[in-house]
Structures are given as C-alpha cells and as structure tokens.
Amino acid sequence: MPLAEYKRKRNFKATPEPAAGGDRGHGIFVVQLHHASRRHYDFRLEHAGALKSWAVPKGPSFDPKVKRMAVQVEDHPLSYAGFEGDIPEGNYGAGHVDVFDSGTWVPQGSVREGLAKGELKFTLNGDVLRGSWVLVRTRGEGRKPQWLLIKHRDEYAGEREADDFVDPDSDRPLPLRERRKVWQDVEAEQVQALDPAARGRAETIDDGPFDPELCKPDTKVPAGDGWLHEAKWDGYRILASIKGLHVRLWSRNRLEWTDKVPELVEALRGLGVKSAQLDGEMIALRDGRDDFNALQGRLSAQEKAPLAYMLFDLPHLDGRSLRELPLLERKARLEALLRERGNPLLRYSAHQVGHGAQVYAQAVRAGLEGIVSKRADSPYRASRNGDWVKIKARRSDEFVVIGFTEPKGSRSGFGALLLARPGKDGLDYVGRVGTGFSAEQLRSLRRDLAGTRIDAAPADVSKMTRADRAAAMWVEPALVVEVYHQGLGGLGLLRQPALKTVREDKSLEDLVKDARGAKPRAATARVQKATTARTRSAATRRATGQRTKTAGTAPGDVRLTHPEREVFPGEGITKADVAAYYRAVAPLLLADVGGRPLSVLRCPDGTGKACFFQKHTGRGWGDHVRSVTVKEKSGSDRYLAVDDAIGVLQLVQMNVLEFHPWGALATDQNHADRIIFDLDPHPSVTWSEVKKAARIVHDALAAIGLESFLRTSGGKGLHIVVPLAPAVPWDEAKQFAAQVADTLAGARPRTFVSIAGEQKRDKRIFIDWLRNARGATSVGSYSLRARAGAPVAMPIEWSELARLRSAAAYDIRSALAKIKRRKRDPWEGFDRIRQTLPSPGAVEARNSSRKAKPKKAGTRSTRRKA
C-alpha cells in the first residue's frame, strides 16, 4: 500500500494532516517549507496516485553547479499538496508547514524506470521552480534513500536559491505575487537586453501548432485593477506560427487553416519577424461589426466580407519565449510590433485595465458577444486555469446534434435539431432548436445529417415524451452547433433556443473536454460505448468516400516527419501511404480499438529493422493520444488509448503500424466484452484445413447459442470473435475460452491442440485462448500488420470464408478497394448483440450430443438483438 508508511506514522485524531484523498491525474508537484525540528523543504511529485516525497534540507538551488541533498521519505496523499498549518507538538513532523511553490511537472521518459534506475529527469512549471531538473540517487549510507536535486542549465538557471523567495524576517514564503514578480522582473530585463541576433540564438521554434490559453465561462465580471478586459470577438480562434518566411495558421484543436486564408498568411509574413507565435480571433466585418455568419459565408466564398485578425497575445517573438512575462508586457510588445510593421488585416485587440462592470455594460449596449477578462500579470499557460474568463452578453452554449425531426407544412429540410451535451455517464438530451436557420442551412444540414443516420438514440432521452422519441430521426453525435437560449427550464430543457451558428471548428471531444475542465478525454469512452453500436454503418460510409459534414470524425491534418520513408522495404509503401490508409479506415478501426487500453507495434526504421511493442504513454505522442490508468500487480501505470482519428494519425506519426486493443473498455477494465479465439496453424497445415477448422469453431459456438464474427489475422490464421453484453469478469472469460479450446481439442485431436508449444503442434491448429486474460491483447480489425506485403487484419462475412485465399488476402491497397465495393459492414450488429456465456458444462454437453444440428457457416444468428 503506497500510503501505509505515511498512515503508520500519524495519529489523524491529533494532527490536521489529511489521511487520504486528492484528485489524481493532473501531474502536480508541490514544495512545502517545513519548520520541523530541522527546517527543510519538502519536495513532492505526483506519481501512481500519490506524492513521491523528498526532504531537501537547504532547499532547491537554481545553480546547476550546486547539488542539493534530497532524502526520500514516505509517499504522501495527493490531498497533502494543499496542506498548510501547524502539526502539533508530540506528532510526527511537528511544526509549521507553508506551501512554498506548486504547479505541474512533466517527466522525461518513464517515471517508474527513472526511479528504479536512480535518475529521474523532469520539467517543472511552477510559480518559483521552473525549467529542467534531475534527481540522482547516491550511494550514501542511511535508512532512507538519498538523492541529489540538480538544476539543469537552461533559461531559468542562475545563482538564486529557494531562500531568495522567503521573507528573511518571518522565515515564511513571500506573497505569491512577489514570488512571481521576481521571475517577471528578471525575464523582462533579459528580453530587453537581447538584440535581434541574440534573440535568434536564445530559442528556436518550429512552425507547428501550439496549445492556447483557454477561457473559463463565468457570469460575473472580475473586479479590481488586477484584471484587464477585452471585447469577445465573434469568430474563429486562430493561432499563428512563424518561422522565417514560413507562416502557418491553426485552429485551437490543431487543424491547419493556412490554405484557407492566404491573405492573412501574407499579412503575417509582412511582419518581417524571424520567429513568432501569435494568438487571436479571425472575424469578418459586416457594416463595421464582427458577424459570424458573414465569416462563414466569406470562408465558403459565398460572400466578400472583409476579414480581420484581432490579435490579443504574443507568446513568442524572435527566438525568445514571452510566456512567463506578465500579460500587460506581452500585449505591449504585440501593440508595438503591429504599430511598427502592421497590416490593415492585422488588428490589435485593445483592452481596459479595471472598470470591468462598465466595460461589460458598454459591450452589451454595442451589441457585442460579451467580454473576456484576463489577469493583467498572468503568464501564458496552455490550460484553462482561470486567468482568462469570458462573460457573454447574450447567453449561448455549444451542443452536439443527436437527431432531427421531419418538417411540417411548407418548411423544407427538417423541423428541429435535437441537442445533447456531455453528462456524467454520457450524453444528456437538453432540448431542440428550430429557429434561426436559413433556407440553405435547412437543406444542407438535412443532406449532411441524412448520411449519418443511426438506429437508436445516442444519448439519455428520458426527458423526451414517448411521442417525441417515436418521431425522432437519430444521427451520430458529431455535428456541433452554438445556440442562444434563456437558461434551462424545470425539466432541464433549453428555454427559447435559437441557432447562433454551426461550429465546424468544434467536435464532440471539444465539448467533453470543456465539460471536464480541459482534463484528458476521460468521459469519451463512455460516450463512445453508448454510440459505437450505432455508428458502424456510418463509419463504413465515411471509409468508402461518401461525404458527411461530421466535425470530430474527420481526422484533420497531422504533420508527418519523413513521409517519404519506406516502411515496407522493397514494396514502395511509405509512411505517407500508411497515414493515408489509416486516415481512410480510422472510423472503422476506432469501432474496434477506440476507448480501450492499447498495445502498439512501432517500427521507427520500417519493418526491415527492429520493431517493438509499447503500451505505456510517454512524451510527444500528441494531444489526442490519451493515457488511461491501469492497475497492475505492483501498483498502476498509464496505458495508451485513442478515441478519434487525429489520435490514430498521431500514433502513425510515432511510427505505429499495428494496433492491439484489450478485450475491455478503459472505463470497465475488469470485465471482458468480447472473447477471441485465434486459430494459429502449424506450417504443415493447409489453408483449406484452417478454413474448415474455423467452421467447426463457429458451429460449436452456435450450438451453445453464441453468435461469432470472423476476421483474417493478416498473418497465418483466422480470428473468431464473440461479443459479450453484458460483459463478464476476466476469470469467467478465460475459463470459458479454455473450456472451448480443450473440448474441441479433445473431440478432434487430429485437428486442434489447446496447449501452447511446438512439440504437439505438427499438422494441427493451436486454438489460442490465452488472449482472453486481463491485459492480453489481439490485433484490432483493420490494423495493418508489420509483415511483407502490408497485410491487413480484415473483418469478413462467414459466407466469404470459402472464397478466402489466405489469412493475408487483404493488404493496404486491396482492403480499401474491398471496403468501397461491399454493401454493408460484415460486422454490422456486433455491438447490438445481447448474449453472455452459457453455464459451465454446456460446451461439453452440446459437443457430445449427437442430436445437435449446428447451423451452417454463413447464416446469421437469429438471437435477439438489443
């Protein structure tokens, strides 16, 4: 137990220290100044659900030449990060505790491996401690492990000590504003002292996207002179990256806009900077005011409204990061840059310091969207931390469309859109919107939504009447709209809703992230579980090229490094080809692997050289590759998972070729929702015998009431997959799979073997049932295989088995051709089947019964669908 030692040393009836608790998964660190019997600093890093802790007697030093002793002590609960106060005399660690610094930390590589190796490197993002650091374990003797805390040489290195941030009179940390101000003053002086040539050497950036500072919604305008207030512009958030003459524009969710607005690119190039990152809002002007509908018309070439790029922040300029400077200082530099080298398309977003209530009232009178209030001394942080808040003049929110109703009377298109938003356990219905649409929007939205029809509601619609549910046309939850409304009524439904706009720059995942406070997409798997069964048919349409307008399912552009690199030697298949394949099949692949812990096979130098499996997350995977906590025997670790096409392509960028999912969702890791039998033939077994064996397994499963699905492995054999709903505990799944394998091997010893090992495999097929254990994986449907010819693990109909040429019959090219030709998904209905495991002994009983008449392979089960 990670906190056993911590609890053993404390009497929580006598000390105010927390016994447990704390919100995990945020990557926090904290340093506390502890006036115990010996004054020291406690240095703590979040890992594996606790705070790894070290006592640093002299405190951290910013001088890379100084090595500070750090004695490792017991782990502390995450809730301890906020603890301040007095530990009474007679208790362990008696004395006063102050929080000296806090923030987030980013490890370099595996934390577990670093701790075991005795060298843990990391970056701190705090108010005091910043930049790159390392903990190195020494060989010193003692009851507790001894480490050295060392600052790496970077822009934050210097001769400062932790005690420089402590009031010498009270021996307490300086006020937080003063602690921040030390760094702000230092960095301001450094930036002022740099000439352009020195700036170019100070820091280099690429021209890729960067993570923006995000706003928290609020209903009250912050008061005081510590806040500045800007207009809330009604447009698209655009991030600009400049490196030399290369200018690229990005949306806040990393979709590239460079080619959509070349005039803004030229205007930014005209600034003549060596490098820069700029943050702002792209708007269109109609009658001298910003107009979102005019912007959409301008981007679709239906209108000629002039564009303007309203710039409000400058995180980087000429080789120097400005992120740690106060916002007022960054804005001053931005205003000076635009004044000196500006363009009419590039406009400075002015602000007012203080007087927030008056600024808001003026914005309301002017008909603006509202205002954005920002802490005047805040750094630029890529998070939704409360330093920026938005207050809307007319309330509007974003919702995902889950369906529509038919039009009545002379109206065309549809009657109303049915809306939902992320809730605790998935999507919750919040009402309908039928006003605010143009005639063209009614027609185009109906056309687009018709291509994403599904059979059942993808949300909790218990608030709808039975008649309304019967009349609803359900669609994939992908299209996002922004709606004006007057709050929620008594039933929790929108009051007086009216369409503001269609948000083609937003996806369902954006709504989930916003609802969760920008945490990783922990809720996405729940939403996906509720909708996967209904999206397979639409996924097939997308993969075969039929156009839809479902933002959030389109993969967007993920920048590839070395796209020309040959991945399959001698076959002309490049990394770009691999990305194009996964871009095409991403919706189908995600139906099988999305929302599940993953193992992936990476081939950095192509299949001709070393490839390796990886299941744990690390640095640089991409913002759409999330991590899920998986409990292991020795604690817990963070596993890979993806929920969308961008995540798939970001893994491809990391040279991933194969996707191997768990047989369980990340949200329910203790229950298997599928069982897989992998038919692995000995080289002496003919292909016709493998196909015959697959039919035998199919018929045996059908005889005990289980419907199964067929997939080529892309290797030597075939996979037979049995969906389970409700899911079952792993022990039951493994026991059942072993029972089926043993029974078939006993009944047909010349065909099957159920024991791994080469000694008994000759001329037989191993029924690999071992993949049905917690943590085991099997290759996912539509995954490429790192084998000659770039074969694909391809789902097929049972009726296709007779014509199947081999387990590697489909490759990176022929798989796409087949998907386009076929009329339906061969695994259609996989997620709608309601079936579970039979009682123990049913397999043997059915197998031994001579009267049983198994169903012929190729016919579909008549078992009731959900």
Residue-wise pLDDT for 10-49, tens only, equals 999 999 999 988 876 567 899 999 999 999 999 999 988 8
pLDDT for the residue 543: 46
How is residue 427 written in tokens?
């999507």
| pLDDT bracket for residue 839 (50, 70, 90) | low
pLDDT for residue 171 is more than 60: yes
> Do residues 485 and 479 touch, judged by C-beta distance below 8 A?
no
pLDDT for the residue 141: 60
pLDDT for the residue 812: 95
- Name the residue with higher pLDDT: 757 or 722: 722
For residue 769, the SS3 value is: coil
What does the pLDDT look like over 785-804, one tens digit per residue?
Answer: 999 999 999 999 999 999 99
pLDDT for the residue 186: 54
CA-CA distance, 564 to 148, in Å (whole number)?
44
How is residue 755 written in tokens?
């024991």
Q: Which stretch of DSSP H or E encloses residue 287?
A: none
| pLDDT bracket for residue 843 (50, 70, 90) | low
| pLDDT bracket for residue 288 (50, 70, 90) | confident
DSSP 457: -
pLDDT for residue 364 is more than 50: yes
Q: How far is CA 234 from CA 57, 400, 588, in A?
A: 53, 20, 36
| pLDDT bracket for residue 209 (50, 70, 90) | confident
Q: How many CB atoms lie within 10 A of CB 840?
A: 11
Domains of the chain, by residue range, sit at 4-174, 216-392, 396-543, 566-661, 671-848
> Do residues 360 and 312 touch, judged by C-beta distance below 8 A?
no
What does the pLDDT look like over 247-267, one tens digit per residue?
Answer: 999 988 788 888 888 899 999
Helices 575-593 & 524-543 angle (0-180, nearest 10): 130
pLDDT for residue 855 is more than 60: no
**Fold equal for 216-392 and 396-543:** no
> If you average pLDDT over residues 84-88, what whole number do you get?
95
Query: Which CB contacts under 8 angstroms, 24+ apart, belong to 96-100?
Result: 96/34, 96/35, 97/32, 97/33, 97/34, 97/35, 97/42, 98/32, 98/33, 98/172, 98/173, 99/30, 99/31, 99/32, 99/173, 100/31, 100/32, 100/33, 100/41, 100/128, 100/162, 100/165, 100/166, 100/173
* Percent of the chain at pLDDT exceeding 70: 86
Q: Which residue has the tokens 């549910």?
A: 469
CATH topology of domain 396-543: OB fold (Dihydrolipoamide Acetyltransferase, E2P) (2.40.50)
Q: Which stretch of DSSP H or E encloses residue 338?
A: helix 327-341
Helices (H), 216-275: 262-269
Burial degree of 659 (CB within 10 A; 0-12, 13-18, 19+): buried
CA-CA distance, 707 to 723, in Å (whole number)?
8
> If you average pLDDT over residues 374-390, what whole number do you get?
88
Could you tell me which of 681, 798, 696, 685 has the C-alpha nearest to residue 747?
A: 696
Q: How many CB atoms lie within 10 A of CB 110?
A: 16
CA-CA distance, 633 to 628, in Å (whole number)?
16
Could you tell me which of 268, 305, 260, 303 has the C-alpha nearest to residue 283?
A: 305
| 552 contact partners, CB below 8 Å, separation of at least 6 | 478, 480, 506, 507, 508, 509, 510, 644
CA-CA distance, 296 to 481, in Å (whole number)?
13
How is residue 132 written in tokens?
């790159």
C-alpha 834 chain-centroid distance: 30
Strands (E) in 544-701, as ranges, are 566-568, 573-574, 598-602, 612-614, 625-632, 635-642, 656-661, 671-681
Q: How far is CA 101 from CA 125, 141, 166, in A?
A: 10, 30, 11
Exposure of 24 in the CB half-sphere (CA atoms within 13 A): 16
Strand 612-614 relative to strand 598-602, pairing: antiparallel
> Do residues 512 and 523 touch, judged by C-beta distance below 8 A?
yes
How is residue 293 written in tokens?
């509908």
CA-CA distance, 778 to 228, in Å (whole number)?
54
> Do residues 308 and 517 touch, judged by C-beta distance below 8 A?
no
> Do residues 528 and 426 touch, judged by C-beta distance below 8 A?
no
CA-CA distance, 395 to 356, in Å (whole number)?
18
What does the pLDDT look like over 220-240, one tens digit per residue?
Answer: 899 888 899 999 998 899 999
Give 139-159 as a DSSP string: ---SSS-EEEEEE-SSTT-SS
Q: What are the residue numbers of the active site?
A: 232
> If you average pLDDT over residues 842-848, what whole number do you get?
53
> If you average pLDDT over residues 593-597, what whole number do you get?
93
Q: How far is CA 352 from CA 61, 215, 231, 369, in A?
A: 39, 18, 10, 17
For residue 539, the SS3 value is: helix
What does the pLDDT look like over 430-452, one tens digit per residue?
Answer: 999 998 888 888 888 888 887 77
pLDDT for residue 555 is more than 50: no
- Give me the residues paired with residue 126 across strands: 103
Q: Is the dihedral of CA 326, 329, 335, 340 positive or negative?
A: negative
CATH topology of domain 216-392: D-amino Acid Aminotransferase; Chain A, domain 1 (3.30.470)
pLDDT for residue 761 is more than 80: no
CA-CA distance, 427 to 368, in Å (whole number)?
31
pLDDT for the residue 490: 63
pLDDT for the residue 205: 57
pLDDT for the residue 104: 78
CA-CA distance, 280 to 290, in Å (whole number)?
14
- Give me the residues paired with residue 389 across strands: 216, 373
Q: What does pLDDT average to over the chain?
A: 84
CA-CA distance, 330 to 313, in Å (whole number)?
6
| pLDDT bracket for residue 512 (50, 70, 90) | confident
CA-CA distance, 419 to 469, in Å (whole number)?
13
| pLDDT bracket for residue 534 (50, 70, 90) | very low
CATH code of the region 671-848: 3.90.920.10
> If you average pLDDT over residues 267-272, what whole number do you get?
91
How is residue 312 written in tokens?
């409000």
> If you average pLDDT over residues 636-648, what whole number do you get?
88
CA-CA distance, 582 to 565, in Å (whole number)?
16
Q: How far is CA 809 from CA 555, 584, 794, in A?
A: 27, 19, 9
How is residue 433 written in tokens?
């919107």
Q: Is the dihedral of CA 281, 282, 287, 291 positive or negative?
A: negative
